[in-house]
Amino acid sequence: MKGDARRTSPNPSFVRRGMRRRSLPLTKGELEGVMPKRGSTAGFTLIESVMVIVIISMMSALALQSLPIARSNQQLIADTEQIRALMLDAKERALNQVRPSTCLPGDDSASVDRAACSDVGIAFSGNKVIEFADTNLDNLYDASDYVIVTFDLTSAPGTGSTSSFLFKSEPPSTIMYANGIIMAPGDTGTIILNGYGSLSRTLIVRPYGTIDVQ
């Protein structure tokens, strides 16, 4: 009997190191400490859920409202860089007297005023910006001038904008015209780009084609 009892009784010395003992059933007091008390609720209440929905709705409305403004601002930046690039290209063409071959009428170069197409500028017509060669030598853009390239703007120039800028070739430099009138060192031209709503951007064009953004 005693031998059998010794063999069946648990002996801590025979328990392997690191082996976990069998978990005993939890008592009533331990269960009360683990399980939520009767009447308590898990998760959000109705008021908390409604508040979360209201906050999410407000944030979504604000995001949707600011999206057109952000997109229009990006378009204004892109239009500004396009105008700046065309202004620089027109100046370089005039300075280097770069002439498109189709700008010179006829095959006999002796009968052609070869300075005509060296006067290059940009003009605005609706939502388009046009780089042109002044073939009729009036320092303005009209239908008879040769169009080098045309780009569509996402924001049309507004009231008060200068409609035409021209670089006249006067080696070794150029003379700049605004609306057909020569620009003195302190003169400026204006390009107003209108975007979404009241969003706008004003470009100040100075002699020699530099552009400041306001």
Tens digits of residue pLDDT in 23-46: 556 565 555 555 555 555 556 687
Whether residue 19 lies inside any domain: the answer is no
The gap between the terminal CA atoms of the chain, to the nearest Å, is 104
Residue 155's domain comprises 66-105+113-213
pLDDT at 110 over 60: no
Contact 153, 85 (CB under 8 A): no
Provide the pLDDT for residue 177. Answer: 96
Whether residue 166 lies inside any domain: the answer is yes
Contact 193, 114 (CB under 8 A): no
pLDDT at 163 over 50: yes
Listed ranges 108-112, 174-178, 195-199; the one with the highest mean pLDDT? 174-178
- The model carries a pTM of 0.65
Whether residue 165 lies inside any domain: the answer is yes
Q: Given pLDDT bands bounded at 50, 70 and 90, which one contains residue 121?
A: very high
**DSSP state at residue 109:** G
Contact 86, 151 (CB under 8 A): yes
**pLDDT over 70 for what percent of the chain?**
67
The helix (run of H) or strand (run of E) holding residue 146 is strand 146-152
Q: Where are the strands (E) in 1-142, listed by range?
A: 120-125, 128-133
Listed ranges 41-55, 114-128, 171-185; the one with the highest mean pLDDT? 171-185
Identity at 170, one-letter amino acid code: E
The whole-angstrom separation of Cα 168 and Cα 177 is: 8
pLDDT in tens, 1-18: 555 555 555 555 544 455
Whether residue 204 lies inside any domain: the answer is yes
Whether residue 87 lies inside any domain: the answer is yes
Which CA distances in Å does 202 have to 20, 69, 159, 189, 192? 77, 17, 11, 10, 5
Provide the pLDDT for residue 198. Answer: 78
Mean pLDDT across the chain: 77
Query: How many other CB atoms sit within 10 Å of the CB of residue 166?
Result: 29
Whether residue 11 lies inside any domain: the answer is no
Whether residue 7 lies inside any domain: the answer is no
- Domain count across the chain: 1
Whether residue 36 lies inside any domain: the answer is no
